[in-house]
Amino acid sequence: MSGAKDEQSSIWNFTLGTRYIDDVLDRAKWRNTVMWHPHHRITLGVEYNPLADDVHPLANVTLLEEKGNLPAVILGTSSDRIGTPDGQAYYVTVSKDLEKWTGLPVAPYAGVSYGTWDDEAVAIGGLNVRLTKNLSAMTLFDGHKVHPTVSWTQDNWTLGFMLAFGDKPGLFFNYRF
């Protein structure tokens, strides 16, 4: 969730992603995304959940890049949280890499998300911890449930494992080109 400028954004313009989580609603079980990065502060895309024949727009705009003491501010939309059978979410988050201040490779984020399924705004947040150059762990709180993840990034691909709701195993893969 960091809003720091992606130095590769002028080279890599698209990201394909897929995620599979066992034992969840069809809409969330198998998620596929295509995202376009026309600018390092803008991401536009589409999410397709084939088991539910469900399509949602994806968008992120970095309103303020992380710089010096200032956090990043990101505005976005995606499908509603994992536990909902339908709906769109609209969110704003603030994130900051704290390694310079704490000496620890951590980057928390916090924000508010409005989900159309529940017709409610909830507090969201998480913490990313860089374990090595390529390995990171992240805990995501979607306003209702916690979803821990661990991911390995190498060049332009990422492979990860997650526990949706803290106990439903899932895998995800992203390829950026």
Average pLDDT (144-169) is 97
Say how far apart CA 82 and CA 27 lie, in whole Å.
8
Q: Give me 50's structure tokens.
A: 């084939």
pLDDT given for residue 9 in this prediction = 47
Q: What is the pLDDT of residues 30-54, one digit of tens each?
A: 999 999 999 999 999 999 999 999 9
Q: Which residues contact 154 (CB under 8 A, 6 or more apart)?
A: 134
Q: What is the pLDDT of residues 89-124, one digit of tens each?
A: 999 999 999 999 999 999 999 999 999 999 999 999
Please provide residue 23's backbone torsions phi and psi, each rounded to the nearest 5 degrees: 65, 40
Based on its alpha-carbon atoms, the radius of gyration of the chain, rounded to whole angstroms, reads 16
Say how far apart CA 64 and CA 41 lie, in whole Å.
9
H helices of the chain, in order, are 26-29, 99-102
Average pLDDT (130-152) is 98
